[in-house]
A = this chain, B = another copy of it.
Amino acid sequence: MGFAQALPLKSGAVLPSYELVYETYGTLNADRSNAVLVCHALNASHHVAGYHADAQGQPLPKSAGWWDNLIGPGKPVDTDRFFVIGVNNLGSCFGSSGPTHVNPATGQPWGADFPVVTVEDWVNAQARLLDALGIEQLAAVLGGSLGGMQTLSWTLQYPERVRHAVVVASAPNLTAENIAFNEVARRAIVTDPDFHGGHYLRHGTLPRRGLRIARMIGHITYLSDDVMNEKFGRQLRASSEQGLDALEQALAPVAPLAYRYTTQDVEFQIESYLRYQGDKFSEYFDANTYLLITRALDYFDPAREYDGQLSAALARARARFLVVSFTTDWRFSPARSREMVKALLENRRDVSYAEIDAPHGHDAFLLDDPRYHAAVRAYFEREVAA
């Protein structure tokens, strides 16, 4: 959907006009009271549920919506009951206006000139989409990780428009360590000689080396140490001479052969897996988008304007909350979720909190852990639909 009205951004810049792509699932009811907005995280899009052909260039059936296990007919967020909206954020490379699009002022791709966008800007843009769809109030906003930050921000920017907020595997801001990982990933991209200050499209290049490193770093932080040991451990892997393709090589464990003693080639299965993930990502993700989205993560900090007092920052919220965290998530740890719960309770808000004992680290929010899904299902059935 195109928006001709300029969008003022938190940075002071203004986006003159823009496009937002979105997908919906289910049917909006007569009084327009059953809409659920789903906010995406770093590497996702408006393709939230169902199957589609054009996501990230992957063939079916891998192009299932990124939260298809949670959202759909009869699923925990039941699209027989709710009208679910997935929207792609500004700055993305999956359809909405972003750095790969043409800057109308210059006729050239925006590249590094695309303005810095924040969680608050995304929420403002999403609110305009809802205006256009004729939805005054959301039954719920739902998001994980960076999507959880948008969810929280919705309750602060538009308190009257959100009845329920479901914040999964998120945090009220990033820790120094989180910012540090983002920064290393950005440096890998920005110092890639093919980056050209962010104007690589004009130079006919792509900073794939940097994107690969960025994705490898990200992947390590999405998994728990335990699950990595269980999945990969210290297993060696088959060599490319055995005629396996990249994914087969990545996933094929081999018997405890002798070490090959190499510094540049793959020796352990975990290395092969990470290289595969990095290669794949670098084929479809835009480097400037990576910079923008990690910066949106870094900048989000609603307590900042309240001298660091989260409780004061959340006083505006009117929604009822479900907050979910995962025990082995060291990127957005349960302690960070508990900070939000505490601040909400200090404001006498209604909060349900589920701390799920799951082994999968931050990635758990995308997986179908039965206790996690049961908690979301129960909340939507008993609270949101009530």
Interface residues of A (CB under 8 A from B): 10-13, 112, 116, 173-177, 179-181, 183-184, 186-188, 190-193, 197-198, 209, 212-213, 216-217, 219-220, 223, 225, 228-229, 231-234, 256, 259, 261-264, 267-268, 270-271, 274-275, 278, 288, 291-292, 295, 298-299, 301, 304, 330
Contacts and interface: CB of A to CB of B under 8 A. Distances in A.
Nearest to A270: B176
Contact of A213 (B188, B198, B304): B188
- Oligomer: number of copies: 2
A112 B234 contact: no
Contacts of A173: 234
Most buried by B among A183, A223, A295: A183
B216 A213 contact: no
Contacts of A263: 112, 116, 186, 198, 288, 291-292, 295
Contact of A274 (B183, B259, B299): B183
23 contacts: A11-B259, A11-B261, A116-B262, A173-B234, A174-B234, A176-B229, A176-B231, A176-B232, A177-B220, A180-B219, A180-B228, A183-B270, A187-B212, A187-B213, A187-B275, A188-B213, A191-B213, A192-B209, A259-B299, A261-B295, A262-B295, A263-B292, A268-B298
Nearest to A235: B176
A262 B179 CA distance: 14
Contacts of A175: 225, 228-229
A219 B268 CA distance: 23
A343 B225 CA distance: 22
Given A220-B184, A278-B187, A299-B259, A270 B213 contact: no
Contacts of A330: 225, 330
Contacts of A225: 175-177, 330
Closest 8 CB pairs of A and B: A11-B261, A263-B291, A176-B228, A116-B261, A183-B271, A176-B232, A184-B216, A191-B209
Contacts of A223: 177
A228 B197 CA distance: 29
A193 to B, nearest CB: 6
A299 B256 CA distance: 13
Contacts of A10: 261
Nearest to A198: B264
